[in-house]
Chain A
Amino acid sequence: MPSFCGLELEHPIVNGSGTYDVIAARRAFGEALIESFPFSAFVSKTITLEPRAGNPPPRLFETPAGLINSIGLPNKGLQGYLERDLPELAALPVPLITNVMGSTAAEIAALLEAVDDRDEIAAVELNVSCPNVRTGLDIGADPRELAAVLDAVRRRTSKPLIVKLTPNTADVALVAEAAEASGADAVSLINTLRAFAPAVGPDAVAGEAWLGGGTGGLSGPAIRAVALAQVSAVARRVTIPVVGMGGVQSGAHAAQMLGAGATLVAVGTESFRDPAAGARIRDELRDFSAKSGSFAR
């Protein structure tokens, strides 16, 4: 029963933001999804202030043991989310974590305030893989930029704040330390690695992108070893809990994440291969832990 930012969760397996739309999944799988809900908390996809249509297709490219996506954060926008999705998400049998992103401190502040008002939301995850309007670098790529943003917005919500770090940085542990110092209650990582999918097929022109959005982000087992390196580097340097993710496909992998210092483990891409992967991983981890006597930490 992991305790995470004041939430008492049934088990350590949650979903990665943007990799599970429970509302759509319920249409496909009905109440069985709810009855054997795979995650101990549900993380929404990233919500922005304004609605976004997302990137033009193709949005997916399969790589060796991985997936590149260039989805482009389609979402109904803050109001759409609160009005249309929140009632359905609030009915889930587990706590709801709402993931938000903004490109300026003001935008983020507005998102945090709106979320703060809603009792249905247990915690907020801030996705900082968003280019800073001034530097062009992702906000989360630079410890100083991130600290500045967090210092400006942290007080806008009293809910637990998870900062979802970007892996595309020189030393993610430095960024995590900055997040902790500026009031993050937890950090989550890794988000996808910046990646390029080349045009393929008979008409492919060299240098052209396959993805409608140009570049994309790599996830899945291909990046698990990178994720483990980043999670363990971060966990050694912060005292706040860490949500570890990246390529987790089994209970053994989840145990490796916990071993690297994570408190919770998120499953993303593997859910695409099996909608119930989260439940299987939870069970495998339980068996694994029963054998080794603990959740491996």
Chain B
Amino acid sequence: MPEQTTTPSAAGSAIDPRRASSASRDTAGASGDRDARDAARRDPESAAERTLRRRRLLTGRGAIMIYALLGTLLVCALTVPRFASVQTTGFLLLDAIPILMIAMPMALVIITGEIDLSVASTAGLTSAAMGVLWAAGWGIPEIFVVCVLIGIGCGALNGLLVTAIGLPSLAVTIGTLALYRGLALVVIGDNAVADFPPALTSFFTSKIGATGIPTAMIGVAVIIAFFGVLLHFSSFGRTLPAIGFSKEAASFVGVHVGRAKFWMFVATGVVSALVGIYWTLRYSSARSDNATGIELAVIAAVLLGGVSIFGGRGSIPGVVAGVLIISSVSYALRLGGISDVVLNVVTGLLLVGSVVTPSLIAVVREKRRTRRAARDVLAASAADAA
């Protein structure tokens, strides 16, 4: 073995895993000022790094969506009379809550590369069950428990069919979309149950003091925070984009891909069930057709919020902004006396525009680049051939 190619020992010891791991164990270890000092000394992030990280944070898709939301709100407030009011906050959020809630787990499901179309049906089934149980004299706490169990069940069935049997989630959830809505009809038929305790129903339309913010938003905020932390700060959340990017890459680092997806479907089921409860009590009406059709609105909002339909990319702040943009625009249009007709077109244009524009720019840029290169090569070849 020639001397000069063997590693200088410095480089060798640098990669000593034992040393490295003991170092990381140090930092993992409890407290002590030695640790803090070490960290301060060792925190490797240079100023340049930090700026870059911040800049990426401020120019990411999530950030852009937040700017877009602020812009939307500003334009609405300036152009639509009465938009800038406390009442708007209340009504707008009350309408947005179901979409906002389901969009959270849906974002995670789509980030892992799957989709769930059965969410609205799950909410409908929950609502139906709630009505029947209430009419049968059950107590509210028990009913809530049953509702959540229904959500778990619906989500688990989707999850099992997708992960254990390996069926495509798009097809599976079209099936369960029909099935769960059908079961809602079976459960409650054409009846409507409306005599929920007024104290409870008025709670769901009540506002926090004079802020105009619905009290229910507290719960919704908890849900948003939960999924935000789960996706962005938890070790589990680290694996979700990896799953969406490549199942293989994820399983190589020990991610239980099937298990993770399964739980995401269950989470979607549970949140859908909560939406079923919210819907029932907000409108004080338990019916089989509650929340019909909101699945597409949820997906539209999630995609607008910057989640890639192929999986692997997306952020919770972006999705929240996406939902709120659509809700604000729709509320502003209604308040401005513009028909829902326009709203449909606006929603569609937002969705199509938000995905087509960046992609089109990239395609055009790439085309231009290769065309220019090709032209250069052609010219050079011609010159050489001559």
Q: Do A and B come from one complex?
A: no
Interfacial residues, chain A to chain B (CB-CB below 8 A): none
